[in-house]
Structure 1
Amino acid sequence: MSILLIEAFYGGSHKQLVDLLQEDIEDCVLFTLPAKKWHWRARTAALYFMQTIPASANYRILFASSVLNLTELIALRPDFGKLKKVFYFHENQLIYPVQKCQERDFQYGYNQILSCLVADIVVFNSAYNMESFLTSIGKFMKLMPDHRPKCLEESIRPKCQVLYFPVKFPDVRRFMPEHKLALLEHTPGAKGNGNPYPFMSLPFQEKDDKTVGLTKNNNSDMRSVHCKGQTEGCTSLQDRPHNLITTPREVNKTTSSKSTSHCQREDGPCEACNLCRTPEGLEDQKKPLHIVWPHRWIEAVYCGCYPLCPKALVYPEIFPAEYLYSTPEQLFKRLLKFCKRPDIIRKHLYKGKMAQFSWAALRGKFRSLLTTEPKEDL
């Protein structure tokens, strides 16, 4: 095994990433700790891995998330020092929210700064994550009473790059309304790598029951995609009728033949719109709006949710301006409008791009990241 994957917090998105790397990239070996007691993992994981990971002359790459104190591990295992060390940030401890009654623990952010100095490549899951970390280093180090180090941002920045978190998009065609199916055809994750349908499974929602996604923070831990389980029960993939659309060719044929019958107006139904004139269409407009906090946006929007996010943190980097709000008053007005007219959400076609977040699009970049440089002497 030439690629050493280390995850000190093996759960949620951290687990999803290293599992994906191990599955799709050759010559990987994975060492982990359970996703419990995060603070203790950040403090002590290096010592555990020092004793657990066997020595091997085959290692060429070390990939670890920012929970691990990489500096300690390299000091404890000098044989790892010669490896190409890739340090991946899911979040950073210089700006990560803390409880109001609690002061930020200096040590966690300090450990991440030291680890960046030791790493060969520092990777962030968004430009916001990268810039918020780098530009906060100077202010953060001023917490030291004296003898403060200088020019740390300048030393670390040349090593940094952005590589979005990769998503294997689920197969949602069986419960998507037909007028939204065409959007999936433009996302590489819907086509896969060799296998045309390499999807993860997700909870399912009723075919025409669209939702609005909302959030309070930038938590990346996936919970669920909303379904009508509270009143009518979730419908699994196996329970769906087998005559629903199942192939890209059928998707294109159906959407092209019916695209003219769907109303795209947000001010009300048009006279020639079959979706609005049929009894089914009128009944659909009366269905209540479902509002959820999905936590995993890159998946929720793909499943047909309408994103409604604060114009802050990473959201402007991901979503077009029309899906963002600046104040609670703006959020209230938009929610009020959507609750009165849920058909606006159901008819809406998402105007952003999802392809850049798919594993199909990012796989090559991760593979390049986890290869040694030409003529590198290890």
Structure 2
Amino acid sequence: MCVLLIEAFYGGSHKQLMDLLQEELQEDCVLCTLPAKKWHWRARTAALYFMQTVPISPNYRILFASSVLNLAELTALRPDLGKLKKVLYFHENQLVYPVQKYQERDFQYGYNQILSWFMPEHKLAHFEKVIGVKRNGDACQTVGLPSQQKCRALMKTSNAASKSELCEAQPRLHTTQHEGLPSALIAVTRLNKSEASESTNPCPEEDKQHLTFNLSNTLSGQDYQQRPLHIVWPHRWEHDKGPETFFEVLLKLKEKDLPFHVSVLGEAFSEIPDIFSEAKKALGSSVLHWGYLPTKDDYFQALCMADVVISTAKHEFFGVAMVEAVYCGCYPLCPKALVYPEIFPAEYLYSTPEQLFKRLQNFCKRPDIVRKHLYKGETAGFSWAALGSKFRSLLAAEPKEDL
């Protein structure tokens, strides 16, 4: 088997997945990428670029790509690739992706996705037979997305958990984090084979804020149990992650003189919502970290230092950063919407910003509540140890198979 990996937006969780597959498949794959810039142009023109740059080879058997690529265009431009078995991975659904401004939606991106995953009945039946995917009326899901929605967590937690030490250490992370933090840090920073999450990818050079995480400086002269609640928001600095809701809640806590610290991590692009600069100024001394952390060890340490991880996303297929934070001992609070109810138990979900505020208000008053809490959900199923064999089956094809 030879797998052709194509990623038109090689950054964030897109990069993590491709790097993981390349590492696991090793000599059995060829990786072709474009930088993670100008997303809309990647979606419109990547097929033309890859038509010219993907090497011609008789050894390819499977083509694996993310849905940023217009797969229909590429296979039309390169008939040799059209003969391959194709696996298309959806990181998001462009038909319902939230628009930033009140204007007519550009349906081209959703249309590209429809063209790319439309499959005739006999191929749907073939997929159901080979990998056990059950059809439920959603054409997108018939191309492997039931498992893919759950397997997006393979990005960072996946490769790490394959060593078994993370699976075994997971309960310990949630207890020793509050009793002897350095041991938890050691356990997490062992995950050196994992790729950085969407929250550790570098910003454009002009926007980078290289903040080195210093554990001793943060804890010096202050007992861990006595310090204020530490809230972390580890997401891309874009509108679909709902930063306005997050900062509105924090500023409301600030107005009530409730003690807390906050770390706002994540990747920033050329256009950063104004709320970030406004909120940083308003939050003042409550800010511990602001922006991109230069290494994955710094990022993991920041997560281990935090007590609560928040999502305010408006659009989410999985939420890698949230699962990573749970692995590092954070108490998750997520919207009772999108994919979150499939992953997190009900006690970690909120329905309105007011509910989120009330939860955080209580935690600010009693941070020991979350520091003693043991996570009640299950994350082992998102590891590469659990999903690796399924991906290998998906990426297996006989040379003479009728696809």
**TM-score, normalised on structure 2?**
0.60
- 1:221-249 CA distances to partner (integer Å, 9 max, x unpaired)? x828x99558xx999979xxxxxxxxxxx
Report what 2:155 is aligned to.
Answer: 167
SS at match of 1:17: helix
- How far the C-alpha of 1:200 sits from its partner, in A, is 5.2
Paired residues for 1:144-155 under 5 Å: none
CA contact (8 A) 2:13 2:155 kept: no
SS at match of 2:33: strand
Pair 333,359 (structure 1): closer, same or farther in 2 beyond 3 Å: same
Measured in 2, the distance between the counterparts of 1:348 and 1:48 equals: 50
Pair 155,321 (structure 1): closer, same or farther in 2 beyond 3 Å: closer
- Structure number, greater radius of gyration: 1
- How far the C-alpha of 1:211 sits from its partner, in A, is 4.2
Measured in 2, the distance between the counterparts of 1:157 and 1:199 equals: 27
Is residue 342 of structure 2 the alignment partner of residue 341 of structure 1? no
Measured in 2, the distance between the counterparts of 1:234 and 1:114 equals: 38
Pair 108,204 (structure 1): closer, same or farther in 2 beyond 3 Å: farther
Pair 218,369 (structure 1): closer, same or farther in 2 beyond 3 Å: farther
Measured in 1, the distance between the counterparts of 2:39 and 2:383 equals: 28
- How far the C-alpha of 1:329 sits from its partner, in A, is 2.1
Is residue 27 of structure 2 the alignment partner of residue 2 of structure 1? no
Pair 339,196 (structure 1): closer, same or farther in 2 beyond 3 Å: closer
SS at match of 2:55: coil
Amino acid at match of 1:304: G
Pair 361,117 (structure 1): closer, same or farther in 2 beyond 3 Å: same
SS at match of 2:72: helix
Measured in 2, the distance between the counterparts of 1:354 and 1:91 equals: 21
Measured in 2, the distance between the counterparts of 1:49 and 1:288 equals: 42
Is residue 394 of structure 2 the alignment partner of residue 369 of structure 1? yes
- 1:140-186 CA distances to partner (integer Å, 9 max, x unpaired)? xxxxxxxxxxxxx676654444221113336897995744699xxxx
Measured in 1, the distance between the counterparts of 2:139 and 2:369 equals: 50
SS at match of 1:308: strand
Measured in 1, the distance between the counterparts of 2:142 and 2:3 equals: 23
Pair 53,197 (structure 1): closer, same or farther in 2 beyond 3 Å: closer
Is residue 229 of structure 2 the alignment partner of residue 223 of structure 1? no
- How far the C-alpha of 1:289 sits from its partner, in A, is 6.7
Count of aligned pairs between the two proteins: 288
- How far the C-alpha of 1:102 sits from its partner, in A, is 2.8
CA contact (8 A) 1:288 1:342 kept: no
Give unmatched runs, 5+ long, in structure 2. Answer: 125-132, 180-186, 201-212, 243-264, 268-285, 299-304, 313-318
Pair 302,90 (structure 1): closer, same or farther in 2 beyond 3 Å: same
Paired residues for 1:297-312 under 5 Å: 297-312=322-337
CA contact (8 A) 2:307 2:330 kept: no
Measured in 2, the distance between the counterparts of 1:369 and 1:47 equals: 27
Measured in 2, the distance between the counterparts of 1:107 and 1:236 equals: 35
CA contact (8 A) 1:227 1:234 kept: no
Is residue 113 of structure 2 the alignment partner of residue 112 of structure 1? yes
Measured in 2, the distance between the counterparts of 1:104 and 1:213 equals: 32
- How far the C-alpha of 1:328 sits from its partner, in A, is 2.1
Report what 1:265 is aligned to.
Answer: none
Bigger drift between 112-121 and 312-321 goes to 112-121
Paired residues for 1:193-232 under 5 Å: 198-199=193-194, 208=224, 211-212=230-231, 223=266
- How far the C-alpha of 1:45 sits from its partner, in A, is 0.5
**TM-score, normalised on structure 1?**
0.64
Measured in 1, the distance between the counterparts of 2:339 and 2:108 equals: 25
Match of 1:351 among 363, 376, 380: 376
Paired residues for 1:1-378 under 5 Å: 2-26=2-26, 27-117=28-118, 158-161=142-145, 162-163=147-148, 164-165=151-152, 166-169=154-157, 176=173, 178-179=175-176, 198-199=193-194, 208=224, 211-212=230-231, 223=266, 296-373=321-398, 376=401
Measured in 1, the distance between the counterparts of 2:138 and 2:367 equals: 50
Measured in 2, the distance between the counterparts of 1:156 and 1:306 equals: 32
| Structure richer in helix, relative to its length | 2
SS at match of 1:8: strand
Measured in 2, the distance between the counterparts of 1:168 and 1:288 equals: 18
Amino acid at match of 2:53: T
Pair 111,177 (structure 1): closer, same or farther in 2 beyond 3 Å: closer
Pair 213,326 (structure 1): closer, same or farther in 2 beyond 3 Å: farther
- How far the C-alpha of 1:25 sits from its partner, in A, is 1.3
